[in-house]
Structure formats: C-alpha cells, structure tokens
Structure 1
Amino acid sequence: MNPTSYLAAEAPNPVLPHPSEIILGLIAFLLLLFVLQKFVSPRFEKLYAERAERIEGGIAKAEASQAEAQRVLQEYKAQLAEARAEAARIRDDARAEGQAIVDEMREQAQTESARIVAQGQAQLAAQKAQIVAELRADLGRMAVDLAGRVVGESLEDEARRRGTVDRFLDELDAVSAPAGK
C-alpha cells in the first residue's frame, strides 16, 4: 500500500460536506424558505402595496393640486385682464369728463368775458353820452356867452338860447360826422 493512499482514505474530503450535513442544510433551507414565503413575503408585499398606493395617491393629489393651481392662475389672469380693462375704461371716462369740464369752464369763461366786454362797452357808451351831454351844455353856455359878446346883446332868453345852441351843435355834428366816418 501506498502511504499516500492510506492517508487519503482515512481523511474526509474538506471540499465536499458530509451527506448528513447536506440533508440537514437542505431541510433548514426549505423550512426557512417556507417561513419567509408564509409570513415575511406577504408582509413585505403588503407594505410595498401600501407605499405604492401612498405614492400614487400623493402623485394624484399633487396633480390635482397642480390642476387647481393652474385653474386659479387662469382665473387670476382673467380677473387681472378684466381689472386692467376696467381701469382703462375708468381712465378714458375720467379723461372725457375732464375734457368736458375744461370745455364747459372755457365756454363759461368766454361767456363771462363777453358779458364783461358788453357791460364795459355799455358803460363806455353811457359815459360817452354823459360826457357829450356835459360838453354840449358847456359848449352851449360858452357859445351863448361868446355870441352875446360878439353880438353885444344878451342871449338870456331860454328859448332863443336853446335854439341857437341846438343849431350850432347840429352844424358841428354835420361837420364832424363826415370826418369821423
């Protein structure tokens, strides 16, 4: 016998396990596999389904919130556009009203100016008439005094004096009227 073969027959092979260990390991593995499939795997599946449901619910809720936010944004934009249009309309109305007030005030000022001018012209005409009357009276008195001195007799008679003064003034008006035109 070979001394090496003797040693090989007596020593177990370290790479191959003993058949009883293989059977015991296989039974333990199958038992562990049964426990995992019966108790652990359904629990993991349940937790996974709950988590997936929560995530999908969160996504759906987020999409709903985003859709609501988009709707609110559109409403806001529509209200903003409406407010801008209303502000433009109010601004245009205010401009038109302001222009109407300016036109009305201008018309009132022109009317008042025309009234003041007319009143001033009437007052000037009245003063002119008064001055002409005073000048006629003074001129008539002076003319009578001068005529009395020239003629040498007194022209104290009222009717004669008035006739003389009127005739003199008429002649004076006739002479000054063509020159005034």
Structure 2
Amino acid sequence: MMMSLLADAGPQNPLLPDTSELIIGLLCFLIVFGVLGKKLLPNIQKTLEERHDAIEGGLERAASAQAEANRTLEEYKAQLAEARHEAARITEHAREQGSAIIAEMREEGQRQRESIVAAGHAQIEADRRQVTTVLRQDVGRIATDLAGRVVGESLEDSARQSRIVDRFLDELDAQAVRAEAAGAQGAAK
C-alpha cells in the first residue's frame, strides 16, 4: 500500500522527505531528546558539578596546604634565627670565660713569678749574710795571724780581735759605698 501511494504521487524530489516521514522523524527526535534530557542530562550535570567541586576543593586544599607550608617555613626561619642568636651568645660567653681564665692564669703566673723571685732574693740575701759572716771570720783570723806575726806576739783575745776585724771591714764597706756612689755620678753625667 505504501508503494502504491508513492507510485500515485508522481515523481518525488529526493531532497524533500515525505511529510508523514518528516512528522514521524520529528516525533521520534522529540521523544529521544526528551528521554535524554530527563535521564542523561541530570547525570551529566551531576558529574560536571562533582568535577567542579573536586577541582575547587582541590584548589582550596592546595591553597590551605601552601599557607600551612608558609607558616611552617616562617616558624623554622624564626627557630633558626633564634638558634643562631643563641649560638652567638654561647660563643661570646665562652670567649669571655676564656679571656677571664687567661687573665686569671696570667695573674697566677705573675704571683708565682713574684713569689719565686722574692724567695730567690731572700735566699740570695741569706747566702750573702752567711758568706759575709764567714768572710769576716776568715778575714779576722787571717788579719789576727798577720798582725800577730808583725807585732811578734799572739793576739788571741777574741773580743779585741772581733772589734779590730769589724772596724776594718766597716771601713772597707764605707769605701765600697763611696766608690759606687762616685761611679753612679760619673755614669749619670
């Protein structure tokens, strides 16, 4: 039947479809478009919104992580600066302690040196006194022997002998002091 209708209509233009086919095609298109609009479009819209939320949430999380990283970095920088300051303070304190210890050791060395020098001077003075005493005795004995030989008699009286020797040595000391004073005046000129 359809064929007979087509044959009765005459020559047909291949570019223009039949009106009934056009209406049926349009109705099918609208039904398919409606079904797709009702079923598929909400799912697509939902997926796009989820992607949008995921992207926006990821950006927010990234911004939050970046801010946290910046805060942590600033904290580390502050701690590092504090540690450097503390290290400088400790170094300076150690330097001061070292200087104080060196000064203390120098003072102790100076005290020990002065003590040793004083002990040396005291020992020298004691030795000088002892040598002077021994020399006085020896010189006195020799002088007495010589005087006894010159006079021809023995000068055994020890008190007299001691006075003579002391007077002789005192005269020698006075002459030595005068000679030193004259030498010092000559050197000063």
| Both structures adopt the same fold (TM-score exceeding 0.5) | yes
The 2-side partners of 1:53 and 1:174 are apart by 120
* Structure 2 residue 165 is matched with structure 1 residue 168: no
The 2-side partners of 1:159 and 1:117 are apart by 39
Q: Specify the alignment match of 2:54 in structure 1.
A: 54
Q: Specify the alignment match of 1:4 in structure 2.
A: none
The 1-side partners of 2:75 and 2:146 are apart by 103
Gaps of 5+ in 1: 1-8
Q: Specify the alignment match of 2:31 in structure 1.
A: 31
1:90 to partner: Cα distance: 0.8
Q: Report the 3-state secondary structure (helix = DSSP H, G, I; strand = E; otherwise coil) of the residue aligned with 1:153.
A: coil
Q: Specify the alignment match of 1:103 in structure 2.
A: 103
1:137 to partner: Cα distance: 0.8
Task: Give the count of matched residue pairs.
Answer: 173
Q: Normalising by the residue count of structure 1, what TM-score does the alignment of the two structures yield? A: 0.91
1:59 to partner: Cα distance: 0.7
Percent identity of equivalent pairs: 55
Deviates more, 1:164-173 or 1:125-134: 164-173
Matches within 5 A, 1:1-181: 10-181=10-181
The 1-side partners of 2:153 and 2:173 are apart by 26
Report the AA paired with residue 124 of structure 2: L
1:178 to partner: Cα distance: 1.6
1:176 to partner: Cα distance: 2.1
The 2-side partners of 1:169 and 1:62 are apart by 110
Q: Deviations over 1:119-170 (max 9, x none)?
A: 1111111111111111111111111011111111101122222222222222
1:52 to partner: Cα distance: 0.7
- When the two chains are superposed, the root-mean-square deviation of aligned CA atoms in Å is 1.2
Report the AA paired with residue 142 of structure 1: I
